[in-house]
Amino acid sequence: MKEWYSEAGLTPADYWTLAWEQAAQSDSRVSSDAEEESYWQQHAPVYDERNPLAPYTADLMGTVIASLQSEDELIEVGPGTGGFTQLLAPYVGKLTVVEPSAAMYEILASSWEQSGLVQAVPEAIRAKWEEASGLACDVLFSANAFYRIRDMKESLAQMNLTARRRVYLVQSIGLPFAHPLRVMYGGKQLERSRAQVICDILQEMDITYQMETFAVQRKSGAIHDVALISWDT
């Protein structure tokens, strides 16, 4: 890992930030909260029909659920329409979501009422993770919610401080479900999966983590890997 970044002249955290900055130049959703919300106002109502991940992750989520305790307080960062939230809720005592999108949370709440879950709709902290503060939980969970984070090192540090016991991050790997992090640097285009860069940053931070990959077959029949990155806090 160190050799790859040293050849590029960057640390893993620098690489993530530079990839974010370059992506923001061509995609206004990356840096503009208004553009991001406008996108989800259009696409949130059909998200669970077109591109759900949670229903196809039984093995991966079995690993997460096996570690949960009935009295746990769990925070989910970026729950979107709540597919993973519904899977987690029966196994914890309290579940709070950090979700900046009004459109996504509206779908989460409406689908919750139709799900038959006895748990109440989770309380929402309406903020981006980078702007949330003063939170604490036993377990923190987040799935594919990292594409708009500019400073991933700081965000990971905040997750590590927030969770009293464990952090779980889920990240899809491979097109068309997850684009790699691309950087133009020194006249070359560099490319590395988002999951791998997250792991590299954790290593940079001297956090001992585990990464497991699970082959997931989506609704379309396409099969791709999904990483489960986790660590004890």
What CA–CA distance (Å, rounded) separates 26 from 39?
Answer: 15
Would you state the pLDDT for residue 185?
85
- 112-135 residue pLDDT tens: 988 999 999 999 999 999 999 999
In terms of C-beta distances under 8 Å and separation of at least 24 residues, what long-range contacts does 34-41 make, across chains too? 36/100, 36/101, 36/148, 37/100, 37/101, 37/102, 37/103, 40/101, 40/103, 40/104, 41/103
Strand partners, 166: 139, 232
CA distances from 61 to 13, 66, 80 (A): 28, 8, 17
- In single-letter form, the type of residue at position 226 comes to V
pTM, full prediction: 0.96
* CB 224 within 8 Å of CB 172: yes
What number is the average pLDDT over the span 226-233? 98
Structure tokens at 131: 């702007």
If we measure between CA atoms, which residue out of 85, 77, 125, 139 comes closest to residue 108? Answer: 85
- 143-199 residue pLDDT tens: 999 999 999 999 999 999 999 999 999 999 998 889 899 998 888 888 999 999 999
What average pLDDT does the chain have?
94
Q: Over pLDDT 70: what percentage of the chain?
A: 97
